[in-house]
């Protein structure tokens, strides 16, 4: 097989990149080690920044997103038993975020790719990347007992944290930065109405909680739990009881409980790889960086990577210029580290760290008091939450 860009990974990053390249007339093949059903079944984030919304529109796939997505102009911070609203729209000059589940975005991208009859290989095994430090990179994989090879101009590694692309880079050519947090998020998805119209981020002596949503009838809730906890030890009743203890009186009264559709524990980490380009292979999304979910940056950072990478490829094929691909890593990392900083700060502010004791809790509450009472501090939070602009 021969293509211009071989994309490894059929998550939102790989699919969005493929759609943007297709619209620009650039041939691409996507190779994914999981099945399409598995990819679509993954429960992930649901908050889209304006940058991501604009990119989905650019890809020509925004119709259902705008029809079904929920525009949010604010978030609520809960501490010392009271909620305080941060006016995202007001503090950023009219910017918002949108609640639209990653599953739904993935479905839109998969259906568009199928409708255009673009080649996607699912359930590929033994995926490997070769010669990406040369002018003739290759991808090999096994499918239905046969070995296949794709010859291409470029490889886009959109295959996630555990993917083959980053793992194939020589050890001396890559630097990794990582912080692992001493707790995880126990998440529960339920077909129940959200407890609030906007997201509630709760700082409590019992630990962090988040009241999120996927639609007007489907809610997503999270609890901070020790990494030693097992999801099997948390019954639905135990989850709802603990969540109730971490809410304010009004939210507790409005909380509607029900059976879980999905329940899991996710560890939290901050992770960045430098650089993101290795010859003719480029890392995008979780292959190059991970953020704790507190700031809702994971999917949105992947989208900004895709924006930079698609622009670079289009520039290369249309103008025969390598400026975009030469600056890809630098441009991405500038935005990535700002998002990493925000996610680390917000995580540190909202979660309970046992080693800091009651003093640490008081310091968090004092900072939150300052944050909600200061227009400058609230503006900084709002600007980062809705997403910093993509610089050329």
Residues recognised as catalytic: 72, 201, 293, 297, 385
The H or E element containing residue 156 is strand 154-157
Rounded-to-integer distance, Cα 42 and Cα 15, Å: 15
- What dihedral angle (degrees, nearest 10) is formed by the CA atoms of 369, 372, 374, 375? 170
Rounded-to-integer distance, Cα 219 and Cα 74, Å: 17
DSSP 3-state of 280: coil
- What single DSSP character describes residue 132? T
Q: Which residues pair with 120 in a beta bridge?
A: 30
CA–CA–CA angle 44, 73, 299 (5° rounding): 25
Distances (CA, A) of 55 to 51, 182, 215, 305, 321: 6, 35, 22, 11, 23
Rounded-to-integer distance, Cα 322 and Cα 122, Å: 31
- 195 burial level (CB within 10 Å; 0-12, 13-18, 19+): buried
- What single DSSP character describes residue 3? -
End-to-end CA gap in the chain: 34
Rounded-to-integer distance, Cα 163 and Cα 160, Å: 5
């Amino acid at each position: 097989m021969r293509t211009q860009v071989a994309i490894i990974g059929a998550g939102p990053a790989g699919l969005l990149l493929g759609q943007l390249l297709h619209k620009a007339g650039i041939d691409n093949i996507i190779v994914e080690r999981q099945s399409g059903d598995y990819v679509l079944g993954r429960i992930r984030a649901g908050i889209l920044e304006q940058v991501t919304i604009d990119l989905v529109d650019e890809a020509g796939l925004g119709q259902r997103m705008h029809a079904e997505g929920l525009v949010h102009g604010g978030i609520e911070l809960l501490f010392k038993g009271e909620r305080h609203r941060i006016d995202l729209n007001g503090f950023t000059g009219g910017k918002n975020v949108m609640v639209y589940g990653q599953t739904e975005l993935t479905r839109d991208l998969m259906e568009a790719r199928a409708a255009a009859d673009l080649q996607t290989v699912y359930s590929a095994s033994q995926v490997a990347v070769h010669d990406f430090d040369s002018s003739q990179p290759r991808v090999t994989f096994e499918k239905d007992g046969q070995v296949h090879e794709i010859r291409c101009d470029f490889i886009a590694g959109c295959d996630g944290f555990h993917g083959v692309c980053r793992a194939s880079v020589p050890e001396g050519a890559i630097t990794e930065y990582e912080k692992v947090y001493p707790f995880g998020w126990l998440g529960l998805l339920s077909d129940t109405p959200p407890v609030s119209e906007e997201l509630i981020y709760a700082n409590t002596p019992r630990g962090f909680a988040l009241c999120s949503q996927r639609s007007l009838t489907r809610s997503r809730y999270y609890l901070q739990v020790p990494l030693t906890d097992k999801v099997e030890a948390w019954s639905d009743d135990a989850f709802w009881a603990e969540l109730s203890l971490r809410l304010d009186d009004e939210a507790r009264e409005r909380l509607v409980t029900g059976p879980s559709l999905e329940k899991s524990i996710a560890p939290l980490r901050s992770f960045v790889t430098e650089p993101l380009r290795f010859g003719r292979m480029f890392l995008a999304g979780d292959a190059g960086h991970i953020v704790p979910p507190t700031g809702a940056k994971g999917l949105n950072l992947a989208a900004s990577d895709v924006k930079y990478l698609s622009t670079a490829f289009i520039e290369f094929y249309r103008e025969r210029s390598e400026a975009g691909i030469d600056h890809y890593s630098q441009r991405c990392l500038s935005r990535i580290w700002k998002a990493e900083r925000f996610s680390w700060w917000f995580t540190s502010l909202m979660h309970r760290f046992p080693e800091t004791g009651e003093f640490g809790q008081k310091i968090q509450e004092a900072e939150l008091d300052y944050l909600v009472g200061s227009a400058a501090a609230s503006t900084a939070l709002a600007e980062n939450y809705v997403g910093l602009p993509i610089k050329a």
